[in-house]
Chain A
Amino acid sequence: MSQTEAVVSIRQVRVEFGAVKALDGVDFAIGRGEAVGLVGHNGAGKSTIVNVINGGLSPHQGEILYEGRTGSGIATARAHGVRCVFQELSLCPNLTVVENTRLMHSGLSGLGWRRRAAKLIRDSLDTIFPGHGIDCFAVVGSLSIAERQMVEIAINFLGVSEPPKLVILDEPTSSLDAGLAEQLMAHVRRFVAGGGSVLLISHILGEILSTSSRIVVMKDGRVVTSRPAAEFSVRSLVEAMGSVVKETTRAVRATALTAEKVIDLPAVKGAGIPFYARKGEIVGLAGLGGHGQTTTLLHLFAESSSRWLPSTDKQMAFVAGDRALNGTFPLWSILRNLSIGNLAAFARRASIDRDREAAHGEDWKAKMGIRTPDMNNPILSLSGGNQQKVLFARALAGEARIVLMDDPMRGVDIGTKQEVYATLRREAEQGRTFIWYSTEIDEVRLCDRVYVFRDGIIVAELEGDAITEDNILATSFSGEAA
């Protein structure tokens, strides 16, 4: 395919977030009348590539060509007919369906725009989702999640002054039921047959296989395979997503299978697999991001703590993944960030004993290997990995016997990770239980037992040597339409 007939092509694009390479020299092109399926595991760079194509993110290196011409920015992308349906809903909930249509299409102006917009959106909804029953003058906030998703899809498929050329669908069926998903896929095929292009991202491989003409597999910020869809099966697609180099060194540990269960939950919504954790076990939560892992952790934590009163005996500690949002106190020193989790231990008559607090700080500084000359330095003077160590120390310093971890190693360098893994191991042997949500296969492989999540429920339980990348990938992507 030559570059001139491509609707969008990107060349040697690099995007870095801190130490993490989100895109590492990616070449990618979508031609006219092509439906490209994009698959890959967490952090493979799918969302980043979408944001580069729709102009929301400028790459640090490389160039983007829209219909053969270089350009950047959201306005340029839209001018070349690039539309994007985002994974998280991005309509304005306070506006009506018609007003949201207007917001997305600047071509709708002048007198009588309401009438024209209403006709356009109604036609578009009728074409894609026949029998939808959505009132176009209703406020979006009053619609159900599925209806909002349908409206957003319909808005992006309609053309005011010029028809859309490339529609990016990022997990478009995540909130649609099977019938609606089938209607959408049928429309995608019609749209592509009519010369349009679609970039489809989905965790339902059946959808990808049946709808796309070409499938691109991404891994670690690189495109690893790009072949016609006919050459793939569910099995070979899962294999293509797996790592090229297989690591087999897995710390084998005799799991305390007889230890008492400290958590025991029935299956969610009566579906899937019940959840339990034994004393001294490291339990992994795997699967694609946002499929119910964090919700489960928050639910576990909420169950253990009182709703109204601060409890003195804390059974569980929580290590947050998003440090800046709900982990660190950015204006405080390292020591205070550490000691806040366990103030009662060195308080005397409601005032803090500074000497004991400092001794406690030095103790954990040595234990965790926090790299700082002085624990009184501000927390932000530390690197991300060392900040995370402080948060770990905060959780481990307390009495909590169960530690919940919400993907805490995001954006942490490999050396620090190894140190933290060793600490986790040591603590687990002393009888602490860890529930660990991780988006990285390598970390999941460190766990004693792993639950794989999909669509909010546990779909698989893997133990011991069964914890392999292939197994995790195969269970986190469903073969058929949900």
Chain B
Amino acid sequence: MRKTISGFLPILIPALSLVVLLAAVFYMQPRAMSYTGLNLLFNLAVPIALATIAQMIIMAVNDLDLSMGTFVSFAACVTAVYMPQQPLVACMILLAAIGVYAVLGIIITLRDLPSIVVTLGMSFVWGGLAVLILPAPGGQAPVWLRALMIAKPPFVPMAIVASVVIAFLAHLIIMRSTFGVLVRGLGGNSRSVARAGWSVLALKGAAYALAAAFAVLAGMALVGLTTSADANIALRYTLLSIAGVILGGGEFVGGRVSPIGAVIGALTLTLAGSFLSFLRISPDWQIGAQGAILIIVLALRLVINRSSQQEKAS
């Protein structure tokens, strides 16, 4: 029984911090405790959650994607410019972009390059392409996408439904499927994956492609919410997605990730922004305060991990 509890521990801390933050927000602003209130609070969390899942897949194979923000911006620009009138062209471009990610994964493995350097370089490529497609803020959201994002399902707001669906889907792919096992195995001990007769190259490419697919969805969701795009729309996402994964119980190395935790991490990060606004902290200080929240949660995790390790050792 103790083993099952410690298995849930990584999820428990992010979930707990989300609940505490939510309680604080409700205490300060009781009107947020409504259908519309919740939707407003978590609306922008949907694209962040998708980007966090994308980053998590990259981190599961011991890499880091520093081009996440610009890639999501690029996907958003493509969606806003081509999707309403030429959906076929838009799909082709986005599929090609996913293909480029797969190739990046393969090159990184083949040449044994540091993913940070490669993706940092690619971030300028994606940023440049986004500017070429959409030099000035504009474009429009396709009607169906807009309708999907502002849909009002009964009882539970769309933002919550979408988050649950994303978490469930990612959990299924990464934690339950055999493909997910292989991807996480790559992060844990890539040599033993190779020794078991798998192609590390193909797996890495597939993992990168899957991450890109989630990032594309993030870009589309963002356009659906904001109804237009801008080449710099999602630059923050690079660091937000990394923070979300870590906040959700993931680790930089070793293939230890949690999709449900990552979505919760993304929600917590979004909520932290609103929480600080409710506190009437000036925007100048908000970034710093957000960082402080991050540090507190991570310190909490470290303390709990350490004490549970001591318990195991004794």
Q: Which residues of A contact B (CB under 8 A)?
A: 54, 56, 74-75, 77-78, 84, 86, 90-95, 99-100, 102-104, 106, 108-109, 113-114, 135, 137-139, 142
How does the 8 Å CB contact mask read for B28-57 relative to A, with 1 for contact and 0 for none?
Answer: 000000000000000000000000000000
Say yes or no: B188 contacts A92, CB within 8 Å: yes
Chain B contacts for A95, CB-based, 8 A: 181, 184-185, 188, 255
Say yes or no: A102 contacts B181, CB within 8 Å: yes
Chain A contacts for B7, CB-based, 8 A: 139
Binds A, one of B88-96, B189-197, B211-219: B189-197
A90-B195, A91-B189, A92-B185 given; name 6 further pairs at CB < 8 Å: A74-B194, A92-B255, A103-B192, A103-B193, A113-B178, A142-B312
Say yes or no: A93 contacts B189, CB within 8 Å: yes
17 A-B contact pairs sorted by A residue (CB < 8 Å): A74-B195, A74-B196, A90-B195, A91-B189, A92-B192, A92-B193, A93-B189, A93-B254, A94-B187, A94-B188, A94-B254, A94-B255, A95-B181, A95-B255, A100-B185, A103-B181, A137-B3
Chain A contacts for B254, CB-based, 8 A: 93-94
Sorted nearest first, the 5 A-B pairs with minimum C-beta distance are A92-B188, A94-B188, A90-B192, A94-B255, A75-B197
Say yes or no: B196 contacts A104, CB within 8 Å: yes
Shortest Cβ distance from B189 into A: residue: A92
Looking at the complex, which one of B176, B194, B195, B198 makes contact with A84 (CB distance below 8 Å)? B195
Nearest CB in chain B: distance from A24 CB, A = 25
Say yes or no: B196 contacts A103, CB within 8 Å: yes
Say yes or no: A78 contacts B3, CB within 8 Å: no
Shortest Cβ distance from A100 into B: residue: B185
Say yes or no: B192 contacts A91, CB within 8 Å: yes
Give the residues from 264 to 301 in chain B that come closer than 8 angstroms, CB to CB, to chain A. Answer: none
* Interchain CA distance A90-B197 in the complex, whole Å: 13
Say yes or no: B178 contacts A108, CB within 8 Å: yes
Shortest Cβ distance from B254 into A: residue: A94
With A92-B185, A92-B188, A94-B184: A78-B178 Cβ-Cβ less than 8 Å: no
Chain B contacts for A113, CB-based, 8 A: 178
Say yes or no: A92 contacts B184, CB within 8 Å: yes
Nearest CB in chain A: distance from B104 CB, A = 24
Shortest Cβ distance from B186 into A: residue: A92
- Which of A78, A84, A93 has the most B CB atoms < 10 Å from its CB? A93
Indicate the size class of the contact surface on chain B.
20 to 34
Residue B182 CB within 8 A of the other chain: yes
* Interchain CA distance A92-B186 in the complex, whole Å: 8
Residue B256 CB within 8 A of the other chain: yes
Looking at the complex, which one of B6, B189, B256, B312 makes contact with A90 (CB distance below 8 Å)? B189
Chain A contacts for B193, CB-based, 8 A: 92, 103
Chain A contacts for B195, CB-based, 8 A: 54, 56, 74, 84, 86, 90
- Which of B178, B181, B255, B256 has the most A CB atoms < 10 Å from its CB? B181
* Interchain CA distance A440-B245 in the complex, whole Å: 49
Majority SS at the chain B contact face: helix
Chain B contacts for A56, CB-based, 8 A: 195
Chain A contacts for B184, CB-based, 8 A: 92, 94-95, 99
Shortest Cβ distance from A139 into B: residue: B7
* Interchain CA distance A104-B254 in the complex, whole Å: 18
Looking at the complex, which one of B6, B182, B312 makes contact with A103 (CB distance below 8 Å)? B182
Chain A contacts for B312, CB-based, 8 A: 142
Chain B contacts for A135, CB-based, 8 A: 3
Shortest Cβ distance from A74 into B: residue: B197
Say yes or no: A93 contacts B188, CB within 8 Å: yes
- Which of A54, A77, A94, A139 has the most B CB atoms < 10 Å from its CB? A94
Chain B contacts for A109, CB-based, 8 A: 178
Say yes or no: A106 contacts B189, CB within 8 Å: no
* Interchain CA distance A94-B254 in the complex, whole Å: 7
Shortest Cβ distance from A77 into B: residue: B197
How does the 8 Å CB contact mask read for B129-166 relative to A, with 1 for contact and 0 for none?
Answer: 00000000000000000000000000000000000000
* Interchain CA distance A78-B192 in the complex, whole Å: 13
With A75-B197, A93-B254, A139-B7: A99-B192 Cβ-Cβ less than 8 Å: no
* Interchain CA distance A84-B6 in the complex, whole Å: 32
Chain A contacts for B192, CB-based, 8 A: 90-92, 103
* Interchain CA distance A75-B200 in the complex, whole Å: 12
Shortest Cβ distance from A152 into B: residue: B192
Shortest Cβ distance from B251 into A: residue: A94
* Interchain CA distance A84-B187 in the complex, whole Å: 21
* Interchain CA distance A93-B182 in the complex, whole Å: 13
* Interchain CA distance A365-B312 in the complex, whole Å: 54
Chain B contacts for A92, CB-based, 8 A: 184-185, 188-189, 192-193, 255
Chain B contacts for A78, CB-based, 8 A: 196-197
- Which of B3, B188, B255 has the most A CB atoms < 10 Å from its CB? B188
- Which of B6, B193, B196, B198 has the most A CB atoms < 10 Å from its CB? B196
* Interchain CA distance A378-B189 in the complex, whole Å: 34
* Interchain CA distance A182-B198 in the complex, whole Å: 33
- Which of A84, A92, A99, A109 has the most B CB atoms < 10 Å from its CB? A92
* Interchain CA distance A138-B2 in the complex, whole Å: 11
Shortest Cβ distance from B175 into A: residue: A99
Chain A contacts for B198, CB-based, 8 A: 103, 106
Chain A contacts for B197, CB-based, 8 A: 74-75, 77-78, 106
Nearest CB in chain B: distance from A148 CB, A = 11
* Interchain CA distance A108-B179 in the complex, whole Å: 11
Chain B contacts for A75, CB-based, 8 A: 197
Chain B contacts for A100, CB-based, 8 A: 185
Shortest Cβ distance from A88 into B: residue: B191
* Interchain CA distance A99-B7 in the complex, whole Å: 15
Nearest CB in chain A: distance from B313 CB, A = 11
Chain B contacts for A106, CB-based, 8 A: 196-198
Give the residues from 100 to 151 in chain B that come closer than 8 angstroms, CB to CB, to chain A. Answer: none
Nearest CB in chain B: distance from A416 CB, A = 31
- Which of B3, B176, B185, B256 has the most A CB atoms < 10 Å from its CB? B185
Shortest Cβ distance from B257 into A: residue: A94
